[in-house]
A and B are shown apart, each in its own frame.
Chain A
Amino acid sequence: MDLAERMGKLARQKEALAAGDPAAVERQRAAGRLTARERVQKLVDAGSFVETDSFMAEAGCVTGYGLVNQRPVYVLAQDATVRGGAMSQAQKRKMLKLLDLAQKGGGAVVLMPDSAGALVTEGAAVLSAYAQVFACLARLKGELPLIAVLAGSAIGSAAQFALLADVAIAVEGLCEVAPFPASVQNAVQGTAVEGKKLNGAQALAAKGVAALTAKDEEESLVLVRKVIDLLPCTAGEGTPLEEGDDLNRLIAVPAADSKALAADIADAGSLVELYGAWKPSARTYLARVGGHACGIVCCSPEEDGGRLDAWACDKIAKLVTLCGDYNLPVITLVDSQGLAVPAQGGEAWLMTASARMLSAYANLWTPKLAVITGNAVGAAYVNFAGRDMADLCLAWPTAYIAPLTREAAVQTFQADRVAEEGRPALEQEAFEEADAFAAAACGLVDDVIDPVQTRKHLIAGLELLADRAGSL
């Protein structure tokens, strides 16, 4: 056979592989889902995708590499149109080959689970396949950013694709992710809830499994690109600096709420809230501030005085750990009355989670900047703003820094004066004894700043400490 003939065969085979099984593709479209190849092509920069092992069609997944905003990404997309996208020995081999390449080349790994489960005809060997793929992903976590797009089914072991990712994005109306099928859950719990409602995007976001939700697949891919932009290619690198918003822009004070404050501090249009539907007493973001990619933790005083329960502590620990893994500075906006008193029996989990949060801050080697905008009571100061927890701690003139809330301080130390002088006067006295100026006078905060200049102070701090985060 001559070259022209072989080239013809290559072209025919490539075309057939790309087209797939028309009936299966039609079923996928009827379910309102994109095919694996369509997802990949919509994710990467036009014309940049290189598919690997495309002739291993029976593996039921599309693998390859491409560019997102000119930065390398590696994609593993289960193909529900081929054997239901089920995990198999062949799929494992294909996935492991790509993950090996990703480790060598460096770049974010995008996981797109969409399968009917595992190819059970392979027996226990398929469990080994899962084990090998998950072990590889677990080892890569913290080395390469892992992002999961949940636009299909990931039931049983496949749910680990979502849980092992650094950021999971669930698509409304399409995804179903759970350790057990809905039928099993309903049988055990005596319910009759539809699978996509029980384990769909909204449920995953409310449980803190999905960091982000998208209205459709197109939006989910836009979010993936945005998240990739805020993370480095590998843990050993910094995220490229991006010029944009004015370094000397003043912020609006007072802000409507904690979210508006975070948005004003961040560079215009750069804020991405993670786990927004989960435990809003603390808010966590990825953003750029003065062009530096960073994490922002924000207490929400509008939610129970910003008191932190165990899950809020866990949420914060997640973001701080992510920032530590990927060289991102952390900005913490503190306005919290401390830890929330748990319901009976919840003390152990609160102590565990708050210790996890404290450890995350203490072990964070990237720049840590704290701004006390209101209350920094007890654990709030200790965890977020205390020496060794923050490299730079600034306070607004409205800040109150004390072991006890004003109410508790009056109750504890001034109970005998309450009847004569009234609580408001005594609470004001307590505030003035522990305000920002008192804290600054004894070095508990580094400076008291004009709130409108908060962004400028934070950028100056990031500029000073940026080298530690490896910014390019």
Chain B
Amino acid sequence: MLTDTAYTLQVLTFILIILAALLLLVGINMLRRAKSDGAEPAAQQPSQAALLPRAPAPVGGVEAGVAAAITAAITCMLAQEGAQGAPQGFVVRRIRRI
């Protein structure tokens, strides 16, 4: 079982990870928009890539990315908890007596 301080630190770490992921996604999105605004008109001949079937676009854009980041963070957290056996309750330890 984690101590209270260690647990708080862990939660703060995950919050920071989520915030970082958010900032990254927003940044990427802004870059994409800027690129599309200043881009040349499409070429006469479609590129080979354009002829290939496209992967479906993420629904909701930034929101979907946020959800994915949060899910990933929670999954990571739960995996760590499971590895430490926390759901099994208390841990027995030897009592040292002098």
A-side residues, CB < 8 A to B, are: 247-248, 250, 290, 450, 453, 456, 459-460, 463-464, 466-467
Minimal beta-carbon separation of B55 from chain A (angstroms): 45
Check if A467 sits within 8 Å of B97, measured CB to CB.
Answer: yes
Complex alpha-carbon distance, A375 and B21, angstroms: 56
Check if A247 sits within 8 Å of B94, measured CB to CB.
Answer: yes
Complex: chain B residue closest to A456, CB-CB: B92
Complex: chain B residue closest to A455, CB-CB: B92
**Between-chain CB contacts (< 8 Å), 21 pairs:** A247-B93, A247-B94, A248-B88, A248-B91, A248-B92, A250-B88, A290-B92, A450-B89, A453-B89, A456-B89, A456-B90, A456-B92, A459-B92, A460-B90, A460-B92, A463-B93, A463-B94, A463-B95, A464-B95, A466-B95, A467-B97
Task: Flag B80-98 by CB within 8 Å of A: 1 or 0 each.
Answer: 0000010011111111010
Minimal beta-carbon separation of B88 from chain A (angstroms): 7
Complex alpha-carbon distance, A466 and B92, angstroms: 14
A248 with B85: in contact, given A456-B90, A460-B90 (CB under 8 Å)? yes
Residues of B within 8 A of A453 (CB): 88-89
Complex: chain A residue closest to B94, CB-CB: A463
Complex: chain B residue closest to A247, CB-CB: B92
Interface range for B: 10 to 19
Complex alpha-carbon distance, A453 and B91, angstroms: 10
Complex alpha-carbon distance, A459 and B88, angstroms: 15
**Interchain residue pairs A-B with the least CB separation, the first 10:** A247-B92, A463-B95, A460-B92, A459-B92, A456-B92, A248-B92, A248-B91, A453-B89, A467-B97, A463-B94
**How would you classify the secondary structure of chain A's contact residues: helix, strand, loop or mixed?**
helix
Residues of B within 8 A of A459 (CB): 92
Q: How many A-B residue pairs have CB under 8 A?
A: 25
B-side residues, CB < 8 A to A, are: 85, 88-95, 97
Residues of B within 8 A of A464 (CB): 95
Complex alpha-carbon distance, A456 and B85, angstroms: 14
Complex alpha-carbon distance, A450 and B88, angstroms: 10
Check if A463 sits within 8 Å of B92, measured CB to CB.
Answer: yes
Complex alpha-carbon distance, A450 and B87, angstroms: 12
Complex alpha-carbon distance, A456 and B91, angstroms: 8
Residues of A within 8 A of B89 (CB): 450, 453, 456
Complex alpha-carbon distance, A262 and B95, angstroms: 24
Minimal beta-carbon separation of A265 from chain B (angstroms): 13
Minimal beta-carbon separation of B39 from chain A (angstroms): 61
Complex alpha-carbon distance, A248 and B85, angstroms: 10
Residues of A within 8 A of B94 (CB): 247, 463
Complex alpha-carbon distance, A453 and B95, angstroms: 19
Residues of B within 8 A of A290 (CB): 92
Residues of A within 8 A of B92 (CB): 247-248, 290, 456, 459-460, 463
Residues of B within 8 A of A466 (CB): 95
Residues of A within 8 A of B93 (CB): 247, 463
Minimal beta-carbon separation of A300 from chain B (angstroms): 27
Residues of A within 8 A of B95 (CB): 463-464, 466
Residues of B within 8 A of A248 (CB): 85, 88, 91-92
Residues of B within 8 A of A250 (CB): 88
Complex alpha-carbon distance, A273 and B57, angstroms: 68
Minimal beta-carbon separation of A294 from chain B (angstroms): 15
Known: A247-B92, A248-B88. 18 other contacts (CB 8 A): A247-B93, A247-B94, A248-B85, A248-B91, A248-B92, A250-B88, A290-B92, A453-B88, A453-B89, A456-B89, A456-B90, A456-B92, A459-B92, A460-B90, A460-B92, A463-B94, A463-B95, A466-B95
Complex: chain A residue closest to B97, CB-CB: A467
Complex: chain B residue closest to A466, CB-CB: B95
Residues of A within 8 A of B91 (CB): 248
Complex alpha-carbon distance, A208 and B92, angstroms: 37
Residues of A within 8 A of B85 (CB): 248
Complex alpha-carbon distance, A450 and B97, angstroms: 29
Complex: chain A residue closest to B89, CB-CB: A453
Residues of A within 8 A of B97 (CB): 467
Residues of B within 8 A of A467 (CB): 97
Complex: chain B residue closest to A449, CB-CB: B89
Q: Which of A290, A450, A456 has the most CB of B within 10 A?
A: A456
Minimal beta-carbon separation of B95 from chain A (angstroms): 5
Complex alpha-carbon distance, A247 and B88, angstroms: 13
